[in-house]
Structure 1
Amino acid sequence: MTAPSVVRPQRWAVVAAHAVPLVTLPSGIWRLFLAGGADLGLRPHYAIGFGEAAYIVGLSVVSEALALLTLGLVRPWGERVPRWIPLLGGRRVAPYAAIVPAATGALALAAIWAYAFRDFPGLGAVTFAGPGWHALLVACYLPLLLWAPLLAAVTWAYWRRRRRV
C-alpha cells in the first residue's frame, strides 16, 4: 500500500517518532523487573502482590503501546487505515483524528511529568541500598522527560504535512 499523501515526512520527524518508544523502554523494563520481584535496591523492601504486579505490567505495556502509536504520525497507516481493519480498512484518516489525540497526549505527558518529576531525582522517603541503585532508577526514568517534546514535535510535523491534504 502506498502513502496517500504526496508529502513525505521530514527525516527529523521520522527519527523523533522512532525515538519515542525508545525513551519509554528503560522505565518499562525497570518496572517489569520490579513487578517480577527484583529488589532493585529499594529499602524498605515492599512485597508486591499479584494485583500490584499486574498493574505495573499493565502500565508498562500500555505506555509502550501508546509510545508506538507515535509511529503512525510518520507511517502510511497514520494517513490511511490499513485494509485488514474491519469496517474502516482503506479509509483516509482525517488529519485532526490523529492530531487532536497526539497533541492532547503531548500536553498530558508534559503535565504528568511536571507533577511526577517535581522532586526528581531526590525521591523523598524512598531510600536505596546504595547510590548505584538510585542512579539506575534515575537513568531509567530520565528519558521519559523527552516523550512529551518529541511527541509534540512529531505532531507538529504531521500537522504541517497533512494540512495541505
Structure 2
Amino acid sequence: MPSGIWRIAMGIGIPVGFNTTGWDIPGWFSAMCIAMSLATEGLTLLTLGLVKPWGEVVPGWIPLIGGKRVAPLAAVIPALLGAAVVMLLTIPRAGGFGGAQGAPTGPALVVMNACYAPLLLWGPLLVVVTLSYYRRRLMRSSHGARPR
C-alpha cells in the first residue's frame, strides 16, 4: 500500500523528490503510475485467497465458476511465480534509487525507501503463505475433507 500511494502521489504531480521535469504529468505517466498501483493492490488482495475460504471455493456470485472448488495448483503456481517476480524486482533494488539521475535525495529518499521497503517482505512471505496453502489443501484432499 505505501508504495502505491507514493507512486500515485508522484504520478499526479505531488513533489516526492523525483525530478519529474519533462514527464507527462498529468498525462500518460500519471495514468501509468495509477494503473501500476491499482494492479499491485489487486494482486496483493489476491494473496488473501491463500488464507480465506474463497481461495478454496470460488464465491457463488462469480458467473460460470461460482461454487466450484479451486484446484490447488491454480492458486499455487501463479502465487509462486508472483513471489519470484516480486523478489526479482525488489531485492536487487533494495538500496533504493539513490544516485540515479533525478532520484530523490536526503529526506525524500528516506521516505521513498520506507514506502518501498514492505515490498522486500512481500515475495518471501508470499512463498511461506503459498506453501502453507498447498500443504493445507493437500492434507484436506488426502483426508477427503471438504472446505468450509
Taking structure 2 as the reference length, the TM-score comes to: 0.85
Map Cα deviations across residues 1-46 of structure 1 (whole Å, 9 max, x no partner).
Answer: xxxxxxxxxxxxxxxxxxxxxxxx0000001111111111233644
User: Which whole-Å CA distance do the structure 2 matches of 1:39 and 1:140 have between them?
Assistant: 15
Q: Which is further off, 40-49 or 95-104?
A: 40-49
Structure with bigger RCO (C-alpha 8 Å, 6+ apart)? 1
1:142 Cα deviation after fit: 1.3
Distance in 2 of aligned mates of 1:123 and 1:73:
38
| In the alignment, structure 1 residue 122 sits paired with structure 2 residue 90 | no
Q: How many residues align?
A: 139
| Secondary structure, counterpart of 1:143 in structure 2 | helix
**Structure 1 residue corresponding to 2:11, chosen from 8, 11, 35:** 35
Note the residue ranges of structure 2 that are not aligned, 5 or more in a row.
142-148
**Correspondence 1:163 to 2:143:** no
Matched, 1:142 2:117: yes
Structure 2 CA distance for partners of 1:44 and 1:121, relative to 1, 3 Å:
closer
Q: Is the 8 A contact 1:42 1:127 kept in 2?
A: yes
**Counterpart mapping for 1:14-163 below 5 A:** 25-43=1-19, 45-49=21-25, 50-115=27-92, 117=93, 120=96, 122-128=98-104, 131-163=106-138
Q: How far apart in 1 are the matches of 2:63 and 2:81?
A: 27
Structure 1: state its 5+ residue gaps: 1-24
Is the partner of 1:59 in helix, strand or coil? Answer: helix
Cα-to-partner distance string for 1:64-97 (whole Å, 9 max, x where unaligned): 0001100000101000011111111111111111
Percentage of identical aligned residues: 42
* TM-superposition CA deviations, 1:84-126 (whole Å, max 9, x none): 11111111111111111111111121112234x0653534223
CA-based RMSD of the aligned residues comes to: 1.7
